[in-house]
C-alpha cells in the first residue's frame, strides 16, 4: 500500500515515496496524530486500525506532542482516558509557556 501524496505535508521530514508503511509505522502514526487533519486521521485508522495505533501510542511513545494535543489524542481520539501514561514520555519541552527564571539576588 502506498502513502497518499496528500500526506506529504504531515510527513514532511522525508519523501513519502521512501516511507515503508510497516517499517516507519511509529513515525507515520505519531506525525498524523499530532498534525493530521480529519482526512489524514481517517487514512491512519483505515490503514492501521485502532488497536495498532493504540499499541504504538502506548508502547512506543514519542516526545513530540504539545501538551494539549497529547491529552486530546489520549482522552478523545483514542479510548485511553483511564490509562495511566506519563506526560514526560510524550510532551516536548519546546511547546508551552516559558518559565520565568529566578532572579539572582545581588
Round to whole Å and give the CA distance between 22 and 20. Answer: 6
Average pLDDT, the chain: 89
pLDDT tens digit string along 1-35?
A: 789 999 999 999 999 999 999 999 999 999 999 99
Q: 40: closest CA among 13, 9, 67, 18?
A: 9
d(CA 99, CA 40): 34
31-66 tens-digit pLDDT:
999 999 999 999 999 999 999 999 999 999 999 999
Average pLDDT over residues 88-106: 60
What pLDDT score was predicted for residue 93? 75
99 pLDDT more than 50: no
pLDDT at 26: 97
What is the pLDDT, as a whole number, of residue 105? Answer: 43
Per-residue model confidence (pLDDT) at position 62: 95
Helices H / strands E in the chain, number of each: 4, 0
Are 62 and 90 within 8 A, CB to CB?
A: yes
pTM attached to this predicted model: 0.85
Amino acid at each position: 500500500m502506498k502513502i497518499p501524496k496528500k500526506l506529504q505535508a504531515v510527513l514532511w521530514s522525508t519523501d513519502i515515496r521512501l516511507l515503508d508503511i510497516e517499517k516507519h509505522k511509529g513515525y507515520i502514526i505519531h506525525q498524523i496524530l499530532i498534525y493530521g487533519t480529519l482526512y489524514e486521521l481517517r487514512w491512519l485508522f483505515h490503514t492501521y486500525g485502532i488497536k495498532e495505533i493504540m499499541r504504538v501510542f502506548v508502547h512506543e511513545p514519542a516526545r513530540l506532542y504539545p501538551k494539549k494535543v497529547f491529552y486530546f489524542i489520549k482522552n478523545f481520539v483514542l479510548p485511553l482516558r483511564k490509562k495511566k501514561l506519563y506526560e514526560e514520555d510524550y510532551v516536548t519541552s519546546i511547546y508551552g509557556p516559558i518559565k520565568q527564571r529566578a532572579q539572582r539576588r545581588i
